[in-house]
Amino acid sequence: METQQTKAILVVSFGTSYTDAREKNIDRIEADICAAFPDYRIYRAWTSKMILKKLKSRDGIVIDNVREAMERMEADGIREVIVQPTHVMNGIENDRMIADVRAYEECFASIRMGAPLLTTEQDSREAIAALEQEWSHLSENEALVLMGHGTEHYANSVYAALDYMMKDMGHENMFLGTVEAYPTLEALIRRMKKANPVKVHLAPFMIVAGDHAKNDMSGEDEDSWASRFSREGFTVECHLKGLGEYPHIREMLVRHVREAK
């Protein structure tokens, strides 16, 4: 029993205020990690201050931030820690998480860090394979348009690289854009006009199908992606399914725990 009490995996997510999105995505990722590492205790931390505050005031639910989780593990007698983010990329949230974890290096015998979802070329290939598996029913004249978050961080280039790799791997009808950076919705609309698909399938390229997916992507608002594509004359179908619901994406995160450095 001693190994169970002294070894832990801290799963760090941005978080979501939607219970259904948490259950379908974050809870399932944590459950898969738990099943793969029975000798470890599993802890949770979320990085979005806004979401943590909202859950506390709205639902009375208190979830640790990274520093609180590190303190909790130390108090529980944990000696060896693996920190595994569910972040899509090595962006701002991940940089902050690493800084918070490093502040507690002296408190544990060892801390190992797992990589975010898209870190290596192999990760990108596997993520595309997961999309391929999930969307195998799409016909060639239908388009899959994925909504990533986007960031001002230089890591944002991973989105355009992944979009390029999709085409390079033969998926001419898969497109990836972002809400807050490049590739933009305008760029996607221009490309869609050239491709001229019979139908556009919109899906989030985010761990959870939360606020962005429900509002910016599929909302009734005239600025939502669904509304914009519809106005351009495309037949649109929205799919509220986060990446955490894709079994192969969860397998990738389990592998990242195993490969933690």
18 neighbors 210 (Cβ within 8 angstroms): yes
Task: Please choose, from the candidates 202, 208, 157, 210, the residue with its C-alpha nearest in 3D space to the C-alpha of residue 181.
Answer: 157
| Residues contacting residue 162 through CB under 8 Å, at least 6 positions apart | 118, 124, 127, 128, 176
**CB-CB neighbours of 255 under 10 Å:** 15
The residues pairing with 176 across neighbouring beta strands, listed in sequence order, are 146
Q: Which residue of the set 87, 137, 149, 256 is catalytic?
A: 149
Taking Cα atoms as reference points, which of 143, 152, 207 lies closest to residue 176? Answer: 143
Residue 149: active-site member: yes
Alpha-carbon distance of 140 to 171, in angstroms, equals 9
Which amino acids are annotated catalytic?
149
